[in-house]
């Protein structure tokens, strides 16, 4: 079952725990999953059905970078959210419909306001001009 766990979501993107997808890239089939980790979502990418070639990370970019380095496509720039499919409009729509999305969105807005406030305060403390 795919679901959003607000405390597991990262700042810019909600990552659904239980997510499973496949894609063909670098001339190979890859399987991707997101599991619940101790400190946030755990991202996994494996080459086809060969689970010995699995890559893991705390961000979606980490396992894809490892997969790229293990393939013949060294030097390819990787965007984990793009490779996992999170920039796809249909995937975004489906994620928004998952239980927990509203809570994640509220937390994200609170975090953004806090970061903005802390940035303004740090700039003011440093004597920088703070735009309004």
Quick: pLDDT tens for 70-80: 877 666 778 88
The answer, yes or no, to whether residue 51 has pLDDT greater than 60, is yes
pTM, whole model, 2 decimals?
0.68
Task: Domain 6-125: give its CATH architecture.
Answer: 2-Layer Sandwich (3.30)
In the chain, where the domains are located: 6-125
Nearest to 84 by CA among 14, 37, 5: 14
pLDDT band at residue 4 using 50, 70 and 90 as cut-offs: low
C-alpha distances in Å from residue 95, one per residue of 11, 87, 104: 15, 11, 11
The percentage of residues in the chain with a pLDDT greater than 90, rounded to a whole number, is 16
């Amino acid at each position: 079952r795919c679901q959003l766990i607000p405390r597991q979501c990262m700042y810019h993107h909600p990552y659904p725990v239980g997510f499973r997808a496949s894609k063909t890239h670098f001339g190979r089939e890859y399987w991707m999953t997101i599991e619940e980790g101790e400190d946030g979502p755990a991202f996994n990418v494996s080459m086809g059905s060969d689970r010995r070639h699995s890559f893991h990370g705390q961000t979606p970019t980490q396992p894809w970078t490892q997969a790229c380095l293990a393939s013949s496509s060294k030097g390819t720039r990787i965007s984990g959210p793009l490779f996992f499919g999170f920039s796809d409009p249909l995937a975004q729509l489906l994620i928004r419909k998952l239980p927990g999305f509203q809570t994640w969105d509220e937390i994200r807005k609170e975090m953004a306001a806090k970061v903005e406030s802390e940035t303004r305060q740090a700039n003011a403390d440093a004597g920088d001009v703070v735009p309004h």
